[in-house]
Amino acid sequence: MMNFKNFIGAMFVVLWANLAQAQVPVANLGESIVSIKNNRLFAVNLETTVFKPEGDGPFPVVIINHGKSLGNNRLQGRERAIVATRQFLQRGYAVVLPMRQGFSNSGGAVVGEGCNIAGNGDAQADDIHAVMKWTVQQPWADAQKMIMMGQSHGGLTTLAYAQDPHPGIQFVVNFAGGLKYTQGCQWELALKDAFSAYGKKAKVDSLWFYGANDSFFPPQVIKPAHQAYVDAGGKAELNAFGAFGSDAHGMFANPDGLAIWWPSVETKLLQHGMPTALIFPQYGAAGKTPKPEPTQWADLKEIDRIPHLKEGGRKGYGVFLMRPLPRAFALSGSGAWGWANGGDDPLASALNNCQKNSKSPCLLYAVDEQVVWKP
């Protein structure tokens, strides 16, 4: 049984994990957070982030479906997909990013867990239908010019949604989509069966992006799954882009990934009469924090070698290690710490999260999969 001291320590780490990921809406990006009721019998609120360019619209719309981070779904940060969001904002699109039931600050518990991967995707897509219903009712939304994209678990959700999409959805984009559920089932076959079922009912065409070194969905799993989707009648252009960094599964969140996916998406937008011209350059990313050279201070997972940190900070570092790339962890001599992952400058965000709680300067300890600390 957990004693009171351990309970307080655990709650402290949960609080810090959420603070490390917390992001106040940025006014100059037209960012806001809304709550949308889902369609379930006992309806809950879905935390949804909206970015809108300046003006009244109506704007074409991009809906982006988040993946599933390792660990507790409640500790997963509010999805902003800032790399893709900036790309579309610059071209006059509104961007809608819902957190599905059970994730982050959305209500309820995650639905559809288990070996039935097709059923899992269908259950996730049910929340997206509720978000879509809300979106097309907004005066700023052009309900006839919309696309949807999703990464990892969100890619599965997107393909499930494409079986019964709003008529304004022109096409969908799947970034490393799927679900790897290994407890008591052959998940590779279950994923193939799910994609076959989705392909049979797919109403719009799709772009798929998978890398050769994807740690979740390698080519030997995705190629037969993609073929099953196509054989069932689905239209899916597979972009097998080779290796990307240390893990291609994180390509979508990485600014360097734009060179891989944007040209194909832009071509598809043009084919469907969607805008691609750069009209709001002010929404582009600012300069990135330079990445320090690796040092020989310690191995990335040697938590006991990290200086200054107390027990809560070491547990926080353990949470950081579970986060996908790009990511960064910062600390100060006073024992303050902070981390960030995703976005167009996680290094700056990690330093900022640390500095909020420290009077002494914060320095980067780890970036991606390397220790960069210099005492």
| Residue range 33-60, pLDDT digits in tens | 999 999 888 899 999 999 999 999 999 9
Report yes or no on 289 lying in a domain. Answer: no
Tokens 């890398």 — which residue? 211
How large is the average pLDDT for residues 229-236? 98
Q: Do 43 and 134 lie in a common domain?
A: yes
Q: Do 266 and 329 lie in a common domain?
A: no
Residue range(s) defining the domain that contains residue 38: 24-283
Report yes or no on 17 lying in a domain. Answer: no
Share of the chain above pLDDT 70, in %: 93
- Confidence grade of residue 19 (pLDDT, cut at 50, 70, 90): very low
Q: Using H for helix, E for strand and C for coil, what is the string for the chain? A: CCCHHHHHHHHHHHHHHHHHHCCCCCHHHCEEEEEEECCCCCCCEEEEEEECCCCCCCEEEEEEECCCCCCCHHHCCCCCCHHHHHHHHCCCCEEEEECCCCCCCCCCCCCCCCCCHHHHHHHHHHHHHHHHHHHCCCCCEEEEEEEEEEECHHHHHHHHHCCCCCCCEEEEEEECCCCCCCCCCCHHHHHHHHHHHHHHHCCCCEEEEECCCCCCCCHHHHHHHHHHHHHCCCCEEEEECCCCCCCHHHHHHCHHHHHHHHHHHHHHHHHCCCCCCCCCHHHCCCCCCCCCCCCCCCCCCCHHHCCCCCHHHHHHHHHHHCCCCCEEEEEECCCCEEEEECCCCHHHHHHHHHHCCCCCCEEEEEECCEECCCC
Q: Do 206 and 278 lie in a common domain?
A: yes
Cα–Cα distance list, 167 to 144, 162, 173, 342 (Å)? 7, 10, 16, 32
Contacts of 295 (CB under 8 A, 6+ apart): 371, 372, 373, 374
Report yes or no on 59 lying in a domain. Answer: yes
Tokens 């990445």 — which residue? 291
Q: Do 279 and 311 lie in a common domain?
A: no
Answer whether residue 20 shows pLDDT above 50.
Answer: no
Mean of pLDDT over the chain: 90
CATH number assigned to the domain comprising residue 120: 3.40.50.1820
Report yes or no on 18 lying in a domain. Answer: no
Q: Do 350 and 270 lie in a common domain?
A: no
The token pair at 321 is 């290690």
Q: Do 308 and 278 lie in a common domain?
A: no
Report yes or no on 208 lying in a domain. Answer: yes
Answer whether residue 18 shows pLDDT above 80.
Answer: no
Q: Do 162 and 243 lie in a common domain?
A: yes
Answer whether residue 223 shows pLDDT above 90.
Answer: yes
Q: Do 259 and 314 lie in a common domain?
A: no
Q: Do 256 and 353 lie in a common domain?
A: no
Residue 277 is predicted with a pLDDT of: 96
Report yes or no on 54 lying in a domain. Answer: yes
Boundary of a domain, candidates 283, 313, 345: 283
How large is the average pLDDT for residues 68-94? 88
Distance of alpha carbon 316 from alpha carbon 17, whole angstroms: 7
Q: Do 351 and 264 lie in a common domain?
A: no
Distance of alpha carbon 261 from alpha carbon 257, whole angstroms: 7
Q: Do 45 and 82 lie in a common domain?
A: yes
Answer whether residue 15 shows pLDDT above 70.
Answer: no
Position 26: which residue type? V
| Residue range 293-336, pLDDT digits in tens | 999 899 999 999 999 999 999 999 998 998 878 899 999 999 99
Answer whether residue 236 shows pLDDT above 60.
Answer: yes
How large is the average pLDDT for residues 212-227? 97
Report yes or no on 293 lying in a domain. Answer: no
Quote the number of domains for the chain.
2
| Residue range 280-296, pLDDT digits in tens | 999 987 767 888 999 98
Answer whether residue 6 shows pLDDT above 70.
Answer: no
Q: Do 345 and 224 lie in a common domain?
A: no
Report yes or no on 333 lying in a domain. Answer: yes
| Residue range 60-75, pLDDT digits in tens | 999 999 998 876 777 7
